[in-house]
Amino acid sequence: MPVKRWHAELAWLGGDTVAEQVLLEVEADRFLRVTPGSQPPADAVRLPGLTIPGLVNAHSHAFHRALRGHTHYGAGDFWAWRRQMYAVADQLRPDSYLALARAVYAEMALAGITTVGEFHYLHHAPGGVGYDDANAMGVALVAAAAEAGIRISLLDTCYLQADVEGSALSGPQLRFGDGDVAGWAARVAGLPAAARGIAPMTARVGAAIHSVRAVPADGLAEVSAVATGLAGPLHLHLSEQPAENAACLAATGRTPAALCAEHGVLGGRTTAVHATHLSAADVCLLGSSATAVCLCPTTERDLADGIGPSAALRAAGSALCLGSDSHAAIDLLEEARAVELDERLASLRRGTHPASVLLTAATAGGADALGWPEAGRLVPGALADFATIRMDSVRTAGADPGTAMAMATFAAGAADVTNVVVGGLTIVSDGESRRLHQVGRALAEAIRPLWS
């Protein structure tokens, strides 16, 4: 089998420093050797700048990209925003969702993202009628990722009721429902084979609980068991909003984290998304159970969610990962620095989360949370997913080997990503997608009909 070679001027191999002159040798879709201090062989693709493991976007709702720029008129809160989001959700069909998600995942690829976790609850046709292929919408998402060239963990999301009191779904929410947990599980059972059929090497299936609002307490353990059966990750939205906590406490006498703990939802293969409004006891429950936490700071800024206890969660034992969630921005480097910068705003201290912690969250942390533990690292045997950030743009100029990691984390952005490889295949070079031409136009064409 031929060995492909790339030669990185600088590469982050983990820890607090970067290596220079790193030869990356790839056989099939994995790293064969990773060798710092190497001269570049004649056949190697040269990668000026800093090469890092491919970024992992651990929390995405692909269709929210259509909302970018459209929700900033008038005042309002999360719940007002949600009404607009539902109006867009109501428009989508398998073909239009494929077109939109393909463009969104291509935007992710351009930002250096090589794996996405898609938190998918738009299962059925409007009104809740099933498509002929009950997984037509999920299949569209898997196909979209394959066409854009990135890996996907499709986190099929159980969404059964409108609130923690068990009110029935109605209106746009009808599309999300499967009746009961058994109905959801029966549909999901068909997904792994469908995903393998489309993208055998780059798609995996996991499960999600939308939130403690959307799944009755006595169904939480059953969803968790399905995730175990899939050998996939389990994700859930947790304590994004104070109102969610208040409703859960009123209905169950428990915080969402405590309710989840009681029903066996927490643990090392579980990721709590947001985890913004937590009590000290909640932090202990998440940390002591090794539940991962997915922070989505640009969304948390956009939706006025607040600043979560990222430092306390890390100290308690939760691994961190990152998501662009509502896609107000698709820029994992911005997400990474926002964790530290928003912590600075809250604590008035610098340096709580060093660059190595933030980049780990953006790479290995996300890979672990999405069920790709063999990704997110530049080591022999790992999946050959990597992204290169230029260090000669106006944003990044001034870095040296000792500061390139911090420059990438605190100053670079999606526009500085030049080259992206997934499983040994180049999907972005010279800052252009090699899978989808004119990604901006593709986005515009997919979004325009949703607002007309």
Query: Tokens representing 205?
Result: 């299936």
Interaction mask 49-68, a copy of itself, x per CB under 8 A: ----------------xx-x
Among 20, 252, 410, 425, binds a copy of itself (CB under 8 A): 410
Environment class of 202 (CB within 10 Å of its CB; exposed 0-12, middle 13-18, buried 19+): buried
Q: CB-wise, 78 or 131, nearer to a copy of itself?
A: 78
Told to check if 399 binds a copy of itself by CB under 8 A, we report yes
383 pairs with which residues across the strands? 30
What's the CA angle centered on 143, arms 141 and 148, to 5 degrees? 95
Stretch that binds a copy of itself, among 164-172, 185-193, 218-226, 393-401 (CB under 8 A): 393-401
Told to check if 300 binds a copy of itself by CB under 8 A, we report yes
Q: CB-wise, 118 or 340, nearer to a copy of itself?
A: 340
# of chain residues touching a copy of itself (CB under 8 A): 68
Cβ proximity of 98 and 120 under 8 Å: no
Smallest separation, CB 18 to a copy of itself (Å): 12
Other Cβ atoms closer than 10 A to 394: 8
Among 183, 216, 306, 401, binds a copy of itself (CB under 8 A): 306
User: What DSSP element (H or E) covers 257?
Assistant: helix 256-262
Interaction mask 432-451, a copy of itself, x per CB under 8 A: -------xxx-xx--xx--x
Task: From residue 57, give the alpha-carbon distance in Å to each of 287, 311, 365.
Answer: 21, 20, 10
Told to check if 132 binds a copy of itself by CB under 8 A, we report no
Phi/psi zone of residue 104: left (φ > 0), alpha (ψ -120 to 50 degrees), beta?
alpha
Cβ proximity of 441 and 447 under 8 Å: no
Pairing of strands 45-53, 270-274: unpaired
Stretch that binds a copy of itself, among 3-11, 41-49, 350-358, 420-428 (CB under 8 A): 350-358
Q: CB-wise, 97 or 159, nearer to a copy of itself?
A: 97
Tokens 């690292």 identify what position? Answer: 377
| Interface contacts to a copy of itself, rule CB under 8 A | 65-66, 68-70, 72-78, 80-81, 106-107, 110, 242, 300-307, 328-330, 341-342, 344-345, 347-352, 354-355, 392-400, 403-404, 406-407, 409-411, 413-415, 439-441, 443-444, 447-448, 451
